[in-house]
Amino acid sequence: MCFRTVFYSGSVTMLADAEDTMIRITEGDQNLTEQRAQWSEALPHNKTVLRDTDLYFHQVLSTPCLDEIVRAKGAEITTASGRTLLDFHGNSVHQIGFGHPDVIRAIETQMRSLPYCTRRYTNRVAVELAERLVSLAPGSLRGNARVLLTPSGSAAVGLALKLAFAVTGRYKTIAFNDAFHGATIDAASLSGQDLFHRGMGPMLPGVCHVPPLTEPGSIEQIEKLLDARDIAAVIAEPIRATCVRLASTSVWERVRNACDRTGTLLVLDEIPTGLGRSGKLWASEHTGITPDIMVIGKGLGGGMIPQAAVIGRAEFNETGTTPVRELALGHYTHEKSPIGCAAAIATLDTIENESLVERSHELGSWWLDAYRAPLLRIPGVNDVRQIGLMLAVELNDPEHADRAMYESLRSGLSFKVGAAQCLVLFPPLNVESTQLERASETLLAAIKRAHPSTQVRS
């Protein structure tokens, strides 16, 4: 029997429920913290932000918003309040920076010839993207895969689940505490973060949450659950994006072997970590194993067009409990979007032509060599981690992390807070080295200013 385990991550917020009992909810950069209130009070009057606040449903990770963005180019965003910030958050969509000219040209060209492809038809650019993804897939999937396209990562996760259920004839899944796979009901059910479950009632049945693979005892729990031979899939992030942690290859080998032994499919979610972000084209290449199904999205559309994909073993089309060719897994209105596919091909071309996978590895390694020691000398810094251009500075105190983020924003640097107290920086892979250096110096100063010892006591 599976029980869903709740795991908390992100910056800490205290909320009162209907009985005025304080609830600790933690995840991401919430707009409910004291620091956010101070930020909002200091924000110059902005009609767009006020209208947004009045028109959209309020959500703790978005509306009310930080500010209005009026321009975005390369690694920088400019706000209506006059701030220019290095965006090392970017929702993980800007591997090639904002507004890359090659992607803009590809989109403009495609819009003039075929802006939309109705379902039941195909188009050249959609076929070219599928061919490209199959040829670039990791390990044994390369050249031996089929593809499904969809406009969002959450929808792609749902398709991957459907595929696993159909192939195995099973309906249970193993997912991980602290992971995030999307906000739709199916993807949120897999996400091991309470914020995406609270107030939602029953979630997708049969989801078994276990501790992250980087924690002791996780692999043993997985092996024990899989021995029942009723699990359709294990879904995991190859690298934990919220805190930049990677399990050892020996642990991943045990996961792979346990899945093979029990007829379970392994699904790797590359949505935030793929496309060169980790210093390899796919983060799964760090694990030493190959998934049965891989999900990609976010940056695939070049930071302009929503585009995601599922890549799975080709034999699933004909084999399994219910062959996929007999099913309707997901006929999305924009399933084979010519514009989305053109943007994706241009993005893949840019990553290759500008050697961004290699640059991610080299620039990230330089950053760790240059800034690990200075960061660790700052009071309150617990650890510094780097995989490609996935950078994390772990602090001892979530409140310190929250303050450091707002200090950085005031000084021109945007990033994410994850896993309770990690400052997570995902710059574009083509970020200029001088911009990375400037951001790092800003971060050093912000962490120092935000330390509790520097705060005025009331």
What is the mean pLDDT, run by run of 10 residues, along the chain of 458 residues? 39 38 52 90 92 94 94 97 95 96 98 95 98 98 97 96 96 94 92 82 92 96 98 98 96 98 98 98 98 98 97 93 84 93 98 98 98 97 98 96 96 94 97 98 98 64
Nearest by Cα to 191 from 201, 182, 199, 204: 182
Residue 34 Ramachandran class (φ > 0 left, ψ -120 to 50 alpha, else beta): alpha
pTM of the model: 0.93
Q: What is the pLDDT of residue 17?
A: 39
Nearest of 189, 186, 162, 207 to residue 321 by alpha carbon: 162
CA distances to 54, 203, 222, 314, 348 from 209, rounded to whole Å, are 37, 13, 9, 29, 34
pLDDT at 456: 46
The rounded distance, in Å, linking the Cα atoms of 203 and 192 is 12
Express each pLDDT in 44-60 by its tens digit.
Answer: 889 999 999 999 999 98
Position 455 scores a pLDDT of 62
Per-residue model confidence (pLDDT) at position 449 = 96
Is residue 244 exposed (0-12), middle (13-18) or buried (19+ Cβ within 10 Å)?
buried
For CA atoms 148, 150, 156, 162, give the dihedral sign: negative
In this predicted structure, what is the pLDDT of residue 5? 36
d(CA 126, CA 261): 36
**CB contact at 8 A, 193 and 241:** no
Instruction: Give rounded-to-5 percent helix, strand, coil for the chain.
Output: 40, 20, 40
| CA nearest neighbour of 277 among 392, 133, 404 | 392
Half-sphere exposure of 195 (CA within 13 A, CB side): 28
pLDDT of residue 23: 37
Distance, in Å, from the CA atom of 4 to the CA atom of 207, rounded to the nearest integer, reads 6
CA pseudo-torsion sign 250, 274, 277, 124? positive
Helix-then-strand count for the chain, H and E? 12, 17
Write down the pLDDT at residue 192: 85
Residue 150 CB neighbours (<10 A): 26
Tokens encoding 115 = 């802006």
Residue range 113-129, pLDDT digits in tens: 999 999 899 999 999 99
**Beta bridge partner(s), residue 394:** 383, 422
* Residue appearing with tokens 């429920």: 17
Q: What is the pLDDT of residues 215-262, one digit of tens each?
A: 999 999 999 999 999 999 999 999 999 999 999 999 999 999 999 999
